[in-house]
């Protein structure tokens, strides 16, 4: 049996594709893969910690046990800090951006934005969670990296990816030359190429949205949901509603099977809930590279201006034709509300 290609082998093989192929981006992706394996080990033990009772609060030395999302953040920060290829990190877990000013990193070319453990509230019920990352080239030319380096539109990303800690653990990423998926083989501790050149179906029959917020959805979203529920066999409706409540899991399923994920404005999230820099932009880059589409209901996610590292946006993402259909309802209701 031919041994599957490992993530490391694939990165090196594709290095020639990188516009700035000097190995730095390859090493940065390798560092992220290593941290993902460490986080995976702890995520998989979370249930065990619960069974062991208070172990989740303190370990045998009496040290305060870290919550998994803080633990994951520490692991990715440690890997990015020591790897020498990243000069700044923006993390969902940290209010401010984190310049990396060590001698080995302060002149590094890349910025990483990361949601270290998205959907972590699902850990307690054993539902898939994920890590989302986005990579930019720094734009500042000297000194420590600064805010301008991370307030870049999503269309400036050089790479983006996610790790899904589910029934298996997968790392999916793009460098702008298509999307490839790697499944962790625990027997050898390596991510192995399992989903080469991933493409999302142009349309699908799955819609993913938290309908508990229905009453406060924009009218266009309400109309699109009703469209999905019409009994019309010819167009394969009613569609299937699937909502895990973990962005990486919902979008990963739709990427493979086809479908649309919508998190619109709601009463509690008037700007939308999901964050542009380390959730919407990287997922939008991946879906577009797989032939899908991602907008805020009107404007391409990757073209939206970034003014704050934790800014939020509504997001409509997935199969191209399904996102376009939902946008049409948004446009039609916006026009009718003016006329
Ligand atoms: P709601 C998880 O908390 C998260 O940030 C995303 O992973 C997920 O898509 C969304 O929030 C779920 O939000 O309001 O439906 O529980």
Q: Tell me if 118 CB under 6 Å of ligand 1.
A: yes
Q: Is residue 237 part of a domain?
A: yes
Q: Is the pLDDT assigned to residue 1 strictly greater than 70?
A: no
pTM, full prediction: 0.93
Q: Is residue 98 part of a domain?
A: yes
Q: Is residue 1 part of a domain?
A: no
Q: Name the average pLDDT for the chain.
A: 90
Beta-bridge partner residues of 195: 181
Instruction: Verify that 136 and 235 share a domain, yes or no.
Output: no
CA of 23 to the centre of ligand 1 (A): 35
Instruction: Verify that 160 and 184 share a domain, yes or no.
Output: yes
Q: Tell me if 247 CB under 6 Å of ligand 1.
A: yes
pLDDT band (50, 70, 90) for residue 52: very low
Token pair 């380096």: residue:
149
Where a domain ends, among 174, 195, 216?
195
d(CA 216, CA 237): 24
| Confidence (pLDDT) at 120 | 77
**Domain range for 276:** 206-338
Q: Tell me if 312 CB under 6 Å of ligand 1.
A: no
CB 313 within 8 A of CB 301: yes
Instruction: Verify that 239 and 174 share a domain, yes or no.
Output: no
d(CA 106, CA 100): 6
| Confidence (pLDDT) at 337 | 73
pLDDT in tens, 62-107: 444 457 888 899 999 999 999 899 999 999 999 999 999 888 888 8
| Confidence (pLDDT) at 211 | 97
Q: Is the pLDDT assigned to residue 213 strictly greater than 60?
A: yes
Which one has a higher pLDDT value, 304 or 58? 304
Percent over 70 (pLDDT), the chain: 91
Q: Is the pLDDT assigned to residue 126 strictly greater than 90?
A: no
Instruction: Verify that 21 and 151 share a domain, yes or no.
Output: yes
Q: Is residue 201 part of a domain?
A: no
Instruction: Verify that 306 and 216 share a domain, yes or no.
Output: yes
Q: Tell me if 210 CB under 6 Å of ligand 1.
A: yes
**How far out from the chain centre does Cα 200 lie?**
16
Which one has a higher pLDDT value, 47 or 241? 241
Q: Is the pLDDT assigned to residue 128 strictly greater than 80?
A: yes
Instruction: Verify that 41 and 127 share a domain, yes or no.
Output: yes
- For 286, residues 6+ apart whose C-beta sits below 8 A from its C-beta are 160, 161, 162, 172, 173, 174, 179, 255
Instruction: Verify that 32 and 176 share a domain, yes or no.
Output: yes
| Confidence (pLDDT) at 39 | 93
Q: Which of 263, 278, 316 to mutate to test the pocket of ligand 1 (most atoms within 8 A of CB)?
A: 263
CA of 250 to the centre of ligand 1 (A): 10
| Confidence (pLDDT) at 2 | 61
CA of 175 to the centre of ligand 1 (A): 26
| Confidence (pLDDT) at 339 | 67
Q: Whose CA is nearest to atom 2 of ligand 1?
A: 119
Q: Is residue 266 part of a domain?
A: yes
pLDDT in tens, 291-312: 999 999 999 999 999 999 999 9
Q: Is the pLDDT assigned to residue 241 strictly greater than 70?
A: yes
pLDDT band (50, 70, 90) for residue 220: very high
Q: Tell me if 47 CB under 6 Å of ligand 1.
A: no
**How far out from the chain centre does Cα 166 lie?**
14
Instruction: Verify that 181 and 218 share a domain, yes or no.
Output: no
In this structure, of 22-31, 45-54, 74-83, the range with the lowest mean pLDDT score is 45-54
Where a domain ends, among 162, 195, 228?
195
Q: Tell me if 120 CB under 6 Å of ligand 1.
A: no
d(CA 42, CA 129): 12
| Confidence (pLDDT) at 19 | 62
Where a domain ends, among 169, 195, 221?
195
Q: Is the pLDDT assigned to residue 338 strictly greater than 90?
A: no
Q: Which of 246, 248, 266, 278 to mutate to test the pocket of ligand 1 (most atoms within 8 A of CB)?
A: 246
Give the full edge-to-edge strand order of the sheet including 315-318.
240-241, 206-208, 260-263, 315-318, 293-295
Total domain count, the chain? 2
Q: Is residue 200 part of a domain?
A: no
Token pair 């805010």: residue:
147
Which one has a higher pLDDT value, 282 or 53? 282
Q: Is the pLDDT assigned to residue 168 strictly greater than 50?
A: yes
Residues 116-144: what's their mean pLDDT? 89
pLDDT band (50, 70, 90) for residue 42: confident
| Confidence (pLDDT) at 63 | 44
Instruction: Verify that 175 and 219 share a domain, yes or no.
Output: no
Atom in ligand 1 nearest the alpha carbon of residue 115: 5
Which one has a higher pLDDT value, 106 or 53? 106
Residues 312-318: what's their mean pLDDT? 98
């Amino acid at each position: 049996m031919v041994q599957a290609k490992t993530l490391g082998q694939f990165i090196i093989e594709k290095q020639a594709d990188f516009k700035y192929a000097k190995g730095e981006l390859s090493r940065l992706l390798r560092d992220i893969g290593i941290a993902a394996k460490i986080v995976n080990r702890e995520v998989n033990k979370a249930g065990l910690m619960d069974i062991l009772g208070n172990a989740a609060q303190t370990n045998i030395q009496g040290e305060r046990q870290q919550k998994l999302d803080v633990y994951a953040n520490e692991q990715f920060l440690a890997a990015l800090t020591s790897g020498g290829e990243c000069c700044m990190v923006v993390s969902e877990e940290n209010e401010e951006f984190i310049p990396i000013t060590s001698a080995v990193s302060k002149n590094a070319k890349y910025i990483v934005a990361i949601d270290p453990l998205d959907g972590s509230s699902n850990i307690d019920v054993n539902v898939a969670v994920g890590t989302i990352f986005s990579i930019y080239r720094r734009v500042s030319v000297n000194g420590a990296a600064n805010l301008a380096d991370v307030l870049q539109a999503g269309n400036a990303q050089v790479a983006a990816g996610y790790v899904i800690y589910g029934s298996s653990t997968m790392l999916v990423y793009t460098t702008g030359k298509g999307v490839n998926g790697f499944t962790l083989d625990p027997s050898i501790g390596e991510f192995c190429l399992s989903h080469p050149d991933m493409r999302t179906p142009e349309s699908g029959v799955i819609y993913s949205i938290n309908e508990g917020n229905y009453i406060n959805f924009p009218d266009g979203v309400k109309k699109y949901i009703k469209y999905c529920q019409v009994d019309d066999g010819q167009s394969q409706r009613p569609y299937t509603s699937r909502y895990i409540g973990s962005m990486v899991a919902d979008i990963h399923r739709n990427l493979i099977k086809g479908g649309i994920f919508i998190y619109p404005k709601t009463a509690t999230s008037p700007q939308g809930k999901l964050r542009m820099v380390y959730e919407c932009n990287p997922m939008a880059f991946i879906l577009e590279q797989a032939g899908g589409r991602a907008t805020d209901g009107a404007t391409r996610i990757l073209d939206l201006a970034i003014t704050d590292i934790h800014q939020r946006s509504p997001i409509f993402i997935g199969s191209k034709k399904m996102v376009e259909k939902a946008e049409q309802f948004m446009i039609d209701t916006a026009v009718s509300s003016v006329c």
